[in-house]
Amino acid sequence: MEKKHNHRRSIDTMVIHDGYDSKQFQGSLTPPLYQTSTFTFETAEQGERRFAGDEDGYIYSRLGNPTVKVLEERIAQLENGEAALAFGSGMAAVSAVLIALTKANDHIICSQGIYGCTFGLLSMMKEKYNIHTDFTSMETEEQIRSLIKPETALIYVETPINPTMKLIDLELVVKVAKEYDIPVVVDNTFSSPYLQQPLNIGCDIVIHSATKYIGGHGDVIAGLVVGPMDFLDEVSMTTQKDVGGIISPFDAWLLLRGLKTLPVRLDRHCSNAKKITEKLKEHPMVSKVYYPGDPDHADYPIMKKQMKQGGGLVSFEIKGDKRDAQQFLNSLSFISIAVSLGDAETLIQHPATMTHAVVPEESRLKMGITDQLIRLSVGLESWEDIWKDLKQALDQLAKMQNPAY
């Protein structure tokens, strides 16, 4: 771990410089790519010392790699954590953390509405290891407190919640968790460390799907975990080393490149999302708009408290049914129909039949995921062009439903 700076620099500077010292790499301005599976030892004795942990140095890239190390040190600094680990996907990161924190018959408290595959993993853990999960909206301390059991191993939170953009008050969750000494794990994918830093609020572990805003260019699948050094040492020696969902050095290199522009990109994502929200709210074919940066959003006060800005995702309901929603998506011109988020390109998807198709209809509707709900990952294009594309598709829909429009 690089020594912590006494004076924390601005995050705009940290994304470019932290965790890397060019003097240690022959003056290379950007971190070199160590695209190697293994590392040679000068002597057999050196190999012995490395394996025994008596000498620092690399052994084999599943156990550590210099390019990956720069990424891990940088993200640790950005989230203000002691240490970090990189993984081959967001789900490799989520599973490494959940497996490391639990044993058979344990209990988990989880926010209602989480990433579909995390839900799938929790279901698998219940079936295989009898680890039960209680889902709660976490709106009050009492809601959380009433679920705590002696075997509660962790509280798992996603905020903003996909795709309805509800927020969870992290300060409130931390307050209850601390009373019982239960670790709080936050999936911070939707905000990135630029918009929200859960460790500064008192949460214990942060997870990212780096596939999204951290990479930012739609060319990498990767995951990151930030937290206490002793916990991450344990993860690195167990679920990372022995389960093996590690990141490739090239993907780590791409993430370091993407990270440099994180604040610049996020500022644009957020200001574009805000503009698109205002426009959507005025269109007669749109019945609901969910954006945490919108003062009319129910959780706007929580956004003001724990996030820098509202993020780049906007969900909205159109008037009509599932067919109309699909027709609307098909009428778009440059906006791409795709899941994933946080890319330069504006992406749009239909949660009911795509990201949340596996959720039974009843729970889906309870979560607010109707057939008319659309999720938009607002990209970096001109907001006027994004709006033009959305508007022409909405207008087509209006004409279809009412030829006099």
> Is 46 buried (19+), middle (13-18) or exposed (0-12) by CB count in 10 A?
middle
Active site residue 62: yes
Active site residue 308: no
Nearer to ligand PLP, 218 or 320 (CB): 218
**Under 8 Å between Cβ of 20 and 70:** yes
Number of residues that bind ligand PLP (CB under 6 A): 15
Among 65, 191, 211, 346, binds ligand PLP (CB under 6 A): 211
Is residue 315 close enough to count as binding ligand PLP by CB under 6 A? Answer: no
Tokens at 187, concatenated: 């999936």
Active site residue 187: yes
Nearer to ligand PLP, 133 or 162 (CB): 162
Is residue 169 close enough to count as binding ligand PLP by CB under 6 A? Answer: no
In the set 18, 187, 204, 389, the catalytic residue is: 187
Smallest distance from ligand PLP to CB 339, Å: 8
Nearer to ligand PLP, 158 or 371 (CB): 158
Nearer to ligand PLP, 157 or 285 (CB): 157
Q: What are phi and psi of 136, to 5 degrees?
A: -145, 155
Scanning residues 97 to 156, which ones bind ligand PLP (CB under 6 A)? 115, 117
Nearer to ligand PLP, 117 or 400 (CB): 117
**The dihedral sign for the CA sequence 227, 229, 235, 240:** positive
In the set 49, 58, 62, 324, the catalytic residue is: 62
Smallest distance from ligand PLP to CB 46, Å: 36
Among 183, 193, 223, 227, binds ligand PLP (CB under 6 A): 223
Q: In 138-285, at which residue ranges do the beta strands (DSSP E only) sit?
A: 152-158, 184-187, 205-209, 223-227
**Contacts by 186-190, CB closer than 8 A, 24 or more apart:** 186/157, 186/158, 186/159, 187/94, 187/114, 187/115, 187/118, 187/156, 187/157, 187/158, 188/79, 189/90, 189/115, 189/158, 189/213, 190/158, 190/159, 190/160, 190/162, 190/311, 190/313, 190/341
Active site residue 145: no
**Chain-centroid distance, C-alpha 295:** 23
Smallest distance from ligand PLP to CB 397, Å: 28
> Per-residue string for binding with ligand PLP, 58-97, x by CB under 6 A?
-------------------------------xxx------
In the set 18, 34, 69, 115, the catalytic residue is: 115
Give the DSSP letter of residue 370.
Answer: -
Among 111, 209, 309, 349, binds ligand PLP (CB under 6 A): 209
Distance, in Å, from the CA atom of 353 to the CA atom of 116, rounded to the nearest integer, reads: 13
Tokens at 233, concatenated: 């040492």
DSSP-assigned letters across all residues of 229-251: HHHHHHHIIIIIIII--PPPHHH
- What are the residue numbers of the active site? 62, 115, 187, 212
Chain positions contacting ligand PLP, by CB under 6 A? 89-91, 115, 117, 158, 162, 187, 189-190, 209, 211-212, 221, 223
